[in-house]
Amino acid sequence: MRRLTVLIITLGFLSSNVIAQRTIKEEYKLKFDDVLNLMETKYVEHPKFEMLIDEAIVAMVKELDPHSEYMTAEEYERMNEPLTGNFEGIGVQFNILKDTIAVVSSISGGPSEKLGIRSGDKIVMIEDTVVAGIGITNNDVISKLRGDKGTKVRVKIYRRGVNDLIDYTIVRDKIPIFSVDAAYMLNPEIGYVKVNRFAQSTMDEFNEAMDELMPLGMKHLVLDLRGNSGGYLNTAIELSDEFLADKSLIVYTEGVSNPKRENLATSKGRFEKGKLVVLIDEGSASASEIVSGAIQDHDRGLIIGRRSFGKGLVQRPFKLRDGSTLKLTTARYYTPSGRCIQRPYEEGNEEYRKEGQRRRDNGELFSMDSVHVDDHQEYFTDNKRVVYGGGGILPDVFISLDTSENSDFLRDLLSNGLFYQYINEYVDANRDELNSKYPDFETFDAKFDIEGKFMDEFFAFAEKEMSPKEKKGNVISEIDGEEIDASVKKSDSKSEEKDFATRKAEGMAASGKIIRTRLKALLARTIWQTEAFYRVFNADDDAILKAIESIDDKTFRRLKLSYN
Cα 531 to Cα 456: distance, rounded to the nearest angstrom: 27
Smallest CA-to-CA distance from 420 within 473, 499, 496, 491 is with: 473
Cα 26 to Cα 516: distance, rounded to the nearest angstrom: 65
Active site residue 286: yes
Cα 240 to Cα 247: distance, rounded to the nearest angstrom: 12
Cα 106 to Cα 268: distance, rounded to the nearest angstrom: 36
Torsion of CA 24, 28, 30, 32, to 10 degrees: -170
Q: Which of 144, 311, 504, 520 is catalytic?
A: 311
Smallest CA-to-CA distance from 320 within 492, 557, 71 is with: 71
Q: Which of 297, 299, 412, 428 is catalytic?
A: 297
Cα 14 to Cα 12: distance, rounded to the nearest angstrom: 5
Smallest CA-to-CA distance from 177 within 88, 71, 291, 111 is with: 88
H-run or E-run covering 353 = helix 349-353
Q: Which residues contact 380 (CB under 8 A, 6 or more apart)?
A: 337, 386, 387
Smallest CA-to-CA distance from 388 within 340, 350, 349 is with: 340
Cα 92 to Cα 103: distance, rounded to the nearest angstrom: 7
Running DSSP on this structure, what letter comes out for residue 344?
P
Q: What is the 3-state secondary structure (H, E, C) of 463-524?
A: HHHCCCCCCCCEEEECCCCEEEECCCCCCCCCHHHCCHHHHHHHHHHHHHHHHHHHHHHHHH
Q: What angle do CA 191, 194, 197 make, to 5 degrees?
A: 150
Q: Which of 105, 179, 284, 286 is catalytic?
A: 286
Active site residue 31: no
Burial 64-81 (b: 16+ CB within 10 A, else e): ebbbbbbbeeeebeeebb
Cα 560 to Cα 563: distance, rounded to the nearest angstrom: 9
Active site residue 65: no
DSSP SS3 for 237? helix
Torsion of CA 247, 248, 249, 250, to 10 degrees: -110
Q: Indicate which residues carry an active-site annotation.
A: 286, 297, 311
